[in-house]
Amino acid sequence: MKKVGIIMGSDSDLPVVEKAINTLKEYGVPFEVHVFSAHRTPEQSKEFSANARKNGFGAIIAAAGKAAHLAGAIAANTTLPVIGIPVKSSTLDGIDALLSTVQMPSGIPVATVAIDGAANAALLSIEILAASDDVLAEKLEAARKKSTEGVLEKNKAIEEKYNH
């Protein structure tokens, strides 16, 4: 199976990124985690992304806060799918990172999830790998079914409490 690369701009992003790590673990998807910054260690982020395909990666998740150029800088050096997580790490509540991550120019896409949306970033990377992996696709289907059943149970409890 291809690996998912998880890159964060700073180790201070780890509490958010851990949700992506945990989700990938739940699905048994192999991954690597690195701290590379678009601004502080640009050479390392370029080296990683330029070689990611030949190093066995199938998708890359990039998490960064503030002036969050990491996902775009990673995407600039690979044609692998890149998923950006805007991290809420400033006085601007993550809006700065959201806009920096989502507003990519045509030609260099970054699939941007919600502010701190690390679990969805991992799920999206799994869906990308599952496009050519039936076993992974079945795991996603099963999890979706379980989630639906859970919500229906909650609905039933609320309906029983309030609807007479």
Cα torsion 157, 162, 163, 164 to 10°: value is 110
Q: Please state the closest distance from residue 157 (CB atom) to ligand RP5, in A.
A: 39
- Regarding 64 and contact with ligand RP5 (CB under 6 A), the answer is yes
- Of 43, 45, 50, the closest CA to residue 62 belongs to 45
DSSP sequence for 111-157: EE--TT-HHHHHHHHHHHHHTT-HHHHHHHHHHHHHHHHHHHHHHHH
Instruction: Give the nearer residue to ligand RP5 in terms of CB position, either 118 or 130.
Output: 118
Question: Two tokens at 96?
Answer: 């700065």
- Regarding 73 and contact with ligand RP5 (CB under 6 A), the answer is no
**8 A C-beta contact, residue 69 and residue 38:** yes
- Regarding 23 and contact with ligand RP5 (CB under 6 A), the answer is no
Q: Please state the closest distance from residue 112 (CB atom) to ligand RP5, in A.
A: 14
- Regarding 17 and contact with ligand RP5 (CB under 6 A), the answer is no
Question: Two tokens at 7?
Answer: 């890159």
Pick out residues in 81-120 that bind ligand RP5 (CB under 6 A): 87, 89
Instruction: Give the nearer residue to ligand RP5 in terms of CB position, either 58 or 94.
Output: 94
d(CA 159, CA 164): 8
Q: Please state the closest distance from residue 8 (CB atom) to ligand RP5, in A.
A: 6
Return the range that interacts with ligand RP5 (CB under 6 A); candidates 63-71, 75-83, 103-111, 137-145.
63-71
